[in-house]
Amino acid sequence: MLLALLLLAAPPDDEINAPVKDAVAAEVPSLVDLYKWFHTNVELSLKEEKTSAKFAAEVKAAGWTVTEKIGGYGVVASLQNGEGPTILLRIDMDGLPVKEETGLPYVSANPGAMHACGHDSHLAMGIGVARVLSKLKDRWSGTVILIGQPAEELVRGARMMLEDPKFGAAIPSKPSACLSVHDFTGKAGTVGVCPGFASANTDALDIVIHGRGGHGAWPHKTVDPIVIGAEIVTSLQTIVSRKLAPGTRAVVTVGSFHAGTKHNIIPDDAKLQLTVRSYESDVRDKLLSEIKHIAETVSEEHHASKPDITSVDSCPAGYHDPALSERMLGVFERLLGKDKVSREEPVMGGEDFGLFSKHYDVPALQFRVGGAGPG
């Protein structure tokens, strides 16, 4: 990551691998300690108070200009170093509502929360970037913007930061490219790059079906929302298999179906919760349109009123600029060797990092850093 940032602002013939590696090596022991601190003191989305304060303090100590509490607990830091391009680097900060059972000596101290997605390592890497770029200011020029983003796991944090007026005020100049990092299951010491579409459009939908409740022994006097819901769930499975061209990458998953309180009572309502994934905008529109059509049509067939369909969260697909991706592949191959760098496949996971590049209409890349040990 450090070399990537430096080479974007340095001449291609400037041999900087050795100074970067030396600077990083000197920081590794304290960065490992920071990683453990972030892991132990994990905080969930929208609650990253101590995490953001620690991140901000460490970056400020490295000589950066820091603004805190942007869009919640977001952090914007900048380091200006003469003329040159401006590069934005996004680091996410939140943990997941997962009970930790690793048995590590630095296990989560927050019951029911864990850094199970690697954001603790991202935070340590971000602080490493801040320290090393400050130390090597004689080897690069330009401006670097370091973002500490909250609520990535909810795909809300980027939008929250961008909508806060303090965000624009904290940015010294428009970025020419946006970078981010995420750990993945590749071997430690490897880097993966996925040009083009890399993460999916994500839409979280709530569908509330309105029936007419009553006693289960007199079903003919009711409009059963459970039956309606079951038919909707089944019909939704035909969207990808029958409404899209074969091979189109898309997912419609019903993750939750809640209705009723007792064996013999037909409830008034039923609630479905969906996650919808795609890449292309027209496919996303088709998916959402078909979901609405099926939910409303099935409800009408059973003489139920129109269901309520609510978009809870949404995030556009992550697209990695092919030219920037190819350039960075060369950077990583130069740093690590070609055998440690791979081209990766796109995933259906969601990621709101791309909102920063869309906001500025500039190229973006989130590269993947291996986090798996031997075996």
Element (H, E) at 253: strand 250-259
Contact 104, 183 (CB under 8 A): no
Catalytic-labelled residue, pool 48, 92, 94, 351: 94
State how far the Cα of 314 lies from the Cα of 287, in Å rounded to an integer.
13
Start-to-end C-alpha separation, the chain:
25
DSSP 272-313: EEEEEEESSHHHHHHHHHHHHHHHHHHHHHTTPPPPEEEEEE
State how far the Cα of 45 lies from the Cα of 102, in Å rounded to an integer.
21
Contact 152, 52 (CB under 8 A): no
Alpha helices in the chain (DSSP H): 2-9, 17-40, 49-61, 119-135, 157-163, 165-170, 225-238, 281-301, 322-336, 354-360
- DSSP bridge partners of 341: 191
State how far the Cα of 335 lies from the Cα of 331, in Å rounded to an integer.
6
Q: Name 8's Cβ contacts closer than 8 Å, sequence gap at least 6.
A: 85, 87, 142, 177
State how far the Cα of 174 lies from the Cα of 190, in Å rounded to an integer.
31
Contact 259, 216 (CB under 8 A): no
Residue 94 appears among annotated catalytic residues: yes
Token pair for 219:
């079903």
Residue 300 appears among annotated catalytic residues: no
Pairing relationship of beta strands 142-149 and 86-92 according to DSSP bridges: parallel
Q: Which residue has the tokens 């590794």?
A: 28
Catalytic-labelled residue, pool 152, 203, 269, 290: 152
State how far the Cα of 178 lies from the Cα of 351, in Å rounded to an integer.
14
- Residues known to be catalytic: 94, 152
